[in-house]
């Protein structure tokens, strides 16, 4: 089948509000670890007390400790922090994914996806907004990963008829030679563009007219970046596939799927991921190795027990690693009392969103830095407690 572009549209038929994104005053909070935020999905239930947000923002102008008012199990260790607006990024909320890119040359927060599928960058050093190239195919909430100066965007779901999620399903943006150019006070990138990559070989591609009438529902359910590999699993019984960013090839490395949901984020020598069962955070040793005699890489995954010092907590759908053995979790939910009827489209949409933010501290920090062989031999318990909210 061909790769010609089709007319774009919101597959869900939802109202797509514009939002303004605001960050922390401290750029290190977004430079450490791997950040990923996906917008456009259903919210989680409201967790304890949360901050009411303006309908055009994800984070309000200032969050003071009196406004948050969330109790913690360790009052003596509570650290109250205020978040102040860094900049405003007006963009369409639906279908976008955010990730962080930290290299020798830059420390950026990158937004990709949604309609029309453009790329928007926030430079944490200069506090400037930079506009990047548009995807070859609009992707709704894509799987977004970074490696060095490259950004990889893989469709989370597949569509064979029209955008979003029409082929090409997998693309890369190489920023190593990109330059920021300012014209009329608007910054944009030159010297880079999104380039098509081969999609996972398990994706239905050469299909008959009969199969075309009952195409499967394909969804990427879990993924992680390990060394130079991007590992993905699906809702189908296809096992786990790895994309080698050096050879630009896909390999099937396991007949089973990854043992977590969503993305696993690096945390020292370990990875943290949401459990498939109860949604709690588990720790994993994940390695991908190759031998001279075996062209395909080999996958090894060992789960380590995580012990919560207080009650076990549902960490929420979004979390990422910080420095000093900390990791942060936050979740959004829609305010059921703020639904309003759109005057023109006659559709209901929320005017307020709740945000719950929590940071965890790893007690035994030494376990995060020891070699994998030592971890597998000892299998220590990873002790965690709530740090601040």
DSSP labels, 252-276: EEESS--SEEEEEEEETTEEEEEET
The separation between CA 225 and the C-alpha centre of its own chain, rounded to angstroms, equals 12
pLDDT at residue 245, rounded to an integer: 97
pLDDT at residue 166, rounded to an integer: 92
Please report which helix (H) or strand (E) contains residue 386, including its range. Answer: strand 382-388
pLDDT at residue 210, rounded to an integer: 83
pLDDT at residue 211, rounded to an integer: 80
Query: Domains of the chain, with CATH numbers?
Result: 18-388 (2.120.10)
Determine the Cα–Cα distance for residues 365 and 385; give it in Å rounded to an integer.
13
pLDDT at residue 379, rounded to an integer: 60
| pTM exceeds 0.85, yes or no | no
Coil, strand or helix at 366: helix
pLDDT tens digits, residue range 176-196?
999 999 999 899 999 999 999
Is the distance from CB of 272 to CB of 261 less than 8 angstroms? no
Is the distance from CB of 174 to CB of 147 less than 8 angstroms? no
| Residue position matching structure tokens 């529902």 | 217
pLDDT at residue 81, rounded to an integer: 58
Q: Which residues of the chain have pLDDT under 70?
A: 1-85, 88-93, 278-279, 294, 309-317, 365-381, 383, 385-389
pLDDT tens digits, residue range 324-347?
778 887 777 788 888 888 888 888
Which CA distances in Å does 208 have to 1, 211, 235, 259? 11, 5, 22, 33
Is the distance from CB of 105 to CB of 122 less than 8 angstroms? no
């Amino acid at each position: 089948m061909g790769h010609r572009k089709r007319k774009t549209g919101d597959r869900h038929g939802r109202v797509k509000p514009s939002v303004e994104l605001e960050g922390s005053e401290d750029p290190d909070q977004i430079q450490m670890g791997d950040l990923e935020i996906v917008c456009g999905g259903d919210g989680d239930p409201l967790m304890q007390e949360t901050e009411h947000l303006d309908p055009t923002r994800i984070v309000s102008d200032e969050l003071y400790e009196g406004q948050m008012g969330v109790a913690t199990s360790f009052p003596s260790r509570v650290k109250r922090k205020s978040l102040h607006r860094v900049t405003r990024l007006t963009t369409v909320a639906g279908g976008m994914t955010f990730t962080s890119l930290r290299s020798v040359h830059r420390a950026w927060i990158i937004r990709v996806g949604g309609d029309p599928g453009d790329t928007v960058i926030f430079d944490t050093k200069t506090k400037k907004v930079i506009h990047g190239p548009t995807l070859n195919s609009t992707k709704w909430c894509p799987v977004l990963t970074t490696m060095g100066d490259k950004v990889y965007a893989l469709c989370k779901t597949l569509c064979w008829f029209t955008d979003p999620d029409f082929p090409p399903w997998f693309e890369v943006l190489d920023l190593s030679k990109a330059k920021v150019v300012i014209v009329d006070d608007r910054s944009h990138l030159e010297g880079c563009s999104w380039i098509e990559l081969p999609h996972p070989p398990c994706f239905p591609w050469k299909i008959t007219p009969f199969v075309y009438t009952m195409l499967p529902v394909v969804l990427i359910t879990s993924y992680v970046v390990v060394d130079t590999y991007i590992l993905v699993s699906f809702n189908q019984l296809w096992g786990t596939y790895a994309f080698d960013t050096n050879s630009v090839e896909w390999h099937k490395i396991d007949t089973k799927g990854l043992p977590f949901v969503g993305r696993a984020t690096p945390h020292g020598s370990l990875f943290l991921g949401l459990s498939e069962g109860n949604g709690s955070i588990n720790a994993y040793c994940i390695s991908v190795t190759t031998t001279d005699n075996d062209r395909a890489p080999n996958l090894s995954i060992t789960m380590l027990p995580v012990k919560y010092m207080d009650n076990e907590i549902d960490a929420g759908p979004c979390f990422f690693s910080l420095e000093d053995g900390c990791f942060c979790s936050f979740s959004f939910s829609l305010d059921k009392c703020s639904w309003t009827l759109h005057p023109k489209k006659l559709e209901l949409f929320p005017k307020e969103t709740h945000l719950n933010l929590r940071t965890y501290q790893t007690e035994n920090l030494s376990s995060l830095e020891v070699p994998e062989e030592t971890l597998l031999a000892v299998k220590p318990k990873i002790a965690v407690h709530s740090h601040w909210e």
